[in-house]
Amino acid sequence: MKAQRGVVLIVSLVFLVLLTLLATSSMQNATLQEKVAGSLKLRNASFQIAEAVLRAGEAKVLTPGFSLPQCPSPASCLPPPDAKTLSGAAGAGASGMTWEASDGGFYAIQYLGQTDDPAGLPEKGDQEHRLYRVTAIAVQGTLRTVLESIHTQERRIMWRQRL
Protein backbone atom coordinates (compact mmCIF):
# COMPACT_ATOMS: atom_id res chain seq x y z
CA MET A 1 0.00 0.00 0.00
CA LYS A 2 2.75 2.46 0.85
CA ALA A 3 4.32 2.05 -2.62
CA GLN A 4 1.00 2.85 -4.28
CA ARG A 5 0.61 6.12 -2.36
CA GLY A 6 4.01 7.27 -3.65
CA VAL A 7 3.03 6.50 -7.26
CA VAL A 8 -0.18 8.49 -6.89
CA LEU A 9 1.81 11.48 -5.67
CA ILE A 10 4.21 11.30 -8.61
CA VAL A 11 1.39 10.88 -11.14
CA SER A 12 -0.52 13.81 -9.66
CA LEU A 13 2.63 16.00 -9.77
CA VAL A 14 3.16 15.10 -13.46
CA PHE A 15 -0.46 16.05 -14.21
CA LEU A 16 -0.01 19.29 -12.28
CA VAL A 17 3.10 20.16 -14.34
CA LEU A 18 1.24 19.37 -17.58
CA LEU A 19 -1.72 21.54 -16.54
CA THR A 20 0.67 24.38 -15.62
CA LEU A 21 2.35 24.17 -19.04
CA LEU A 22 -1.04 24.16 -20.76
CA ALA A 23 -2.21 27.18 -18.76
CA THR A 24 1.03 29.09 -19.47
CA SER A 25 0.74 28.36 -23.20
CA SER A 26 -2.88 29.51 -23.22
CA MET A 27 -1.97 32.76 -21.44
CA GLN A 28 0.82 33.47 -23.94
CA ASN A 29 -1.57 32.83 -26.83
CA ALA A 30 -4.20 35.13 -25.32
CA THR A 31 -1.62 37.88 -24.78
CA LEU A 32 -0.43 37.60 -28.38
CA GLN A 33 -3.99 37.78 -29.69
CA GLU A 34 -4.65 40.88 -27.58
CA LYS A 35 -1.56 42.59 -29.01
CA VAL A 36 -2.60 41.74 -32.56
CA ALA A 37 -6.12 43.06 -31.96
CA GLY A 38 -4.72 46.30 -30.50
CA SER A 39 -2.43 46.73 -33.50
CA LEU A 40 -5.32 46.18 -35.93
CA LYS A 41 -7.42 48.71 -34.03
CA LEU A 42 -4.65 51.34 -34.29
CA ARG A 43 -4.09 50.59 -37.98
CA ASN A 44 -7.81 50.93 -38.76
CA ALA A 45 -8.09 54.15 -36.75
CA SER A 46 -5.04 55.59 -38.53
CA PHE A 47 -6.45 54.67 -41.94
CA GLN A 48 -9.87 56.16 -41.16
CA ILE A 49 -8.33 59.41 -39.92
CA ALA A 50 -6.11 59.61 -43.03
CA GLU A 51 -9.15 59.06 -45.25
CA ALA A 52 -11.06 61.84 -43.47
CA VAL A 53 -8.07 64.18 -43.84
CA LEU A 54 -7.76 63.27 -47.52
CA ARG A 55 -11.45 64.10 -48.02
CA ALA A 56 -10.90 67.48 -46.32
CA GLY A 57 -8.04 68.24 -48.72
CA GLU A 58 -10.12 67.16 -51.71
CA ALA A 59 -13.00 69.35 -50.53
CA LYS A 60 -10.61 72.30 -50.54
CA VAL A 61 -9.63 71.51 -54.15
CA LEU A 62 -13.33 71.50 -55.09
CA THR A 63 -13.90 74.93 -53.52
CA PRO A 64 -14.89 77.40 -56.26
CA GLY A 65 -11.97 79.62 -57.21
CA PHE A 66 -9.33 77.35 -55.65
CA SER A 67 -5.94 77.61 -57.31
CA LEU A 68 -2.28 77.09 -56.49
CA PRO A 69 0.89 77.90 -58.40
CA GLN A 70 2.20 75.02 -60.48
CA CYS A 71 5.21 73.07 -59.23
CA PRO A 72 8.29 75.03 -60.36
CA SER A 73 10.18 71.90 -61.47
CA PRO A 74 9.50 68.21 -62.10
CA ALA A 75 11.43 67.33 -58.93
CA SER A 76 9.15 69.53 -56.83
CA CYS A 77 6.12 67.70 -58.27
CA LEU A 78 7.22 64.41 -56.72
CA PRO A 79 5.29 63.10 -53.72
CA PRO A 80 6.45 65.04 -50.65
CA PRO A 81 9.22 63.16 -48.81
CA ASP A 82 8.31 64.72 -45.45
CA ALA A 83 5.08 62.67 -45.49
CA LYS A 84 7.17 59.88 -43.95
CA THR A 85 8.51 62.03 -41.11
CA LEU A 86 6.01 64.82 -40.37
CA SER A 87 4.40 64.39 -36.98
CA GLY A 88 4.15 67.83 -35.41
CA ALA A 89 2.17 70.97 -36.04
CA ALA A 90 1.15 71.89 -39.55
CA GLY A 91 3.02 74.51 -41.54
CA ALA A 92 5.85 74.53 -44.02
CA GLY A 93 7.51 71.14 -44.22
CA ALA A 94 11.03 70.20 -45.30
CA SER A 95 9.78 69.87 -48.89
CA GLY A 96 8.55 73.47 -48.87
CA MET A 97 4.92 72.38 -49.04
CA THR A 98 2.39 73.85 -46.65
CA TRP A 99 0.79 71.21 -44.44
CA GLU A 100 -2.62 71.97 -42.99
CA ALA A 101 -4.00 70.28 -39.88
CA SER A 102 -7.41 68.68 -40.25
CA ASP A 103 -9.41 66.03 -38.37
CA GLY A 104 -6.44 64.72 -36.39
CA GLY A 105 -3.98 64.61 -39.31
CA PHE A 106 -2.30 66.76 -41.94
CA TYR A 107 -2.71 67.32 -45.66
CA ALA A 108 -0.85 69.16 -48.40
CA ILE A 109 -1.91 69.98 -51.95
CA GLN A 110 0.30 70.26 -55.04
CA TYR A 111 -0.78 71.65 -58.41
CA LEU A 112 0.78 69.29 -60.97
CA GLY A 113 -0.34 71.02 -64.17
CA GLN A 114 -3.04 70.66 -66.80
CA THR A 115 -4.12 67.88 -69.11
CA ASP A 116 -6.85 67.54 -71.69
CA ASP A 117 -7.26 63.78 -71.15
CA PRO A 118 -7.14 62.72 -67.48
CA ALA A 119 -7.62 59.04 -66.72
CA GLY A 120 -11.15 58.03 -65.78
CA LEU A 121 -12.94 61.15 -67.07
CA PRO A 122 -15.02 61.21 -70.22
CA GLU A 123 -13.64 63.46 -72.94
CA LYS A 124 -15.32 66.85 -73.13
CA GLY A 125 -13.76 68.31 -76.22
CA ASP A 126 -10.69 70.45 -75.68
CA GLN A 127 -11.38 71.24 -72.01
CA GLU A 128 -8.27 71.48 -69.87
CA HIS A 129 -8.31 69.80 -66.44
CA ARG A 130 -6.15 71.03 -63.58
CA LEU A 131 -4.46 68.15 -61.75
CA TYR A 132 -3.85 68.33 -58.00
CA ARG A 133 -2.12 65.82 -55.72
CA VAL A 134 -3.58 65.71 -52.21
CA THR A 135 -1.36 63.94 -49.66
CA ALA A 136 -2.86 63.10 -46.26
CA ILE A 137 -1.07 61.85 -43.14
CA ALA A 138 -2.46 60.33 -39.95
CA VAL A 139 -0.39 59.10 -37.01
CA GLN A 140 -1.89 56.81 -34.38
CA GLY A 141 0.52 55.53 -31.75
CA THR A 142 3.49 54.19 -33.66
CA LEU A 143 1.54 53.74 -36.91
CA ARG A 144 1.58 56.21 -39.79
CA THR A 145 -0.83 56.14 -42.72
CA VAL A 146 -0.13 58.19 -45.84
CA LEU A 147 -2.79 58.44 -48.55
CA GLU A 148 -2.61 60.29 -51.86
CA SER A 149 -5.13 61.15 -54.49
CA ILE A 150 -4.91 62.86 -57.85
CA HIS A 151 -7.84 65.16 -58.25
CA THR A 152 -9.21 67.46 -60.93
CA GLN A 153 -11.40 70.45 -60.23
CA GLU A 154 -14.29 68.00 -60.75
CA ARG A 155 -13.45 64.74 -58.95
CA ARG A 156 -10.88 62.21 -57.80
CA ILE A 157 -9.28 60.26 -60.64
CA MET A 158 -6.72 58.19 -58.71
CA TRP A 159 -6.09 57.07 -55.13
CA ARG A 160 -3.30 55.15 -53.41
CA GLN A 161 -1.85 54.32 -50.03
CA ARG A 162 1.84 55.05 -49.69
CA LEU A 163 4.00 52.79 -47.55
Q: How far is CA 94 from CA 12, 80, 81, 123, in A?
A: 68, 9, 8, 38
- Sign of the C-alpha dihedral, residues 78, 162, 148, 94? negative
Domain edges within the chain:
33-162
pLDDT per residue, tens digit, the chain (163 aa), is: 565 667 888 889 999 999 999 999 999 999 999 999 988 999 999 999 999 999 999 999 999 888 888 888 888 888 888 888 887 666 666 667 888 888 889 999 999 988 877 776 666 666 788 899 999 999 888 889 999 999 888 888 888 888 7
Q: How far apart are CA 13 and CA 154, in angstroms?
A: 75
pLDDT of residue 1: 53
